[in-house]
Amino acid sequence: MGNKLVYRRKFYIVKNDFVDVFNNHFNESNLPNQLKHGARLIGRWMIPNSEDTTERFAIWEYDSYEDYVKIESNVRSDEAHVKRVQEWYLQYGGRDHVINNYLLKVRNEELKTAVNQ
């Protein structure tokens, strides 16, 4: 990909009764850790998906694909952060329980420009 800006969309379908819990986790744990390691949040949005679910997504910017890989590696190897995330999952029944019952769809996608430059 070379040295060009890279944009990533992290996408979730979340059960409505878990949206506030999930948003708090993002704001208190995930966002500070991403920012600490150099990710740049463009924005984070929610829209109704169905009667029972909400679509929630964030768009992140990185200086290059290599920068994205380095930042993600640092985020995932941050021991204090990993421990916070594990404890958060345990508080809500464990990782598998959360994913199977509250976070019904998760995608991490690179966004490609549709503008001729």
What is the per-residue pLDDT across 65-114, written as a single tens digit (0 to 9) for each? 999 999 999 999 999 999 999 999 999 999 999 999 999 999 999 998 88
Q: Give the residue extent of every domain in the chain.
A: 6-110
* H/E run at residue 25: helix 19-25
pLDDT computed for residue 104 by the predictor: 95
Q: Which fold has domain 6-110?
A: Alpha-Beta Plaits (3.30.70)
Residue pLDDT, tens place only, 2-53? 468 999 999 999 999 999 999 999 999 999 999 999 999 999 999 999 999 9
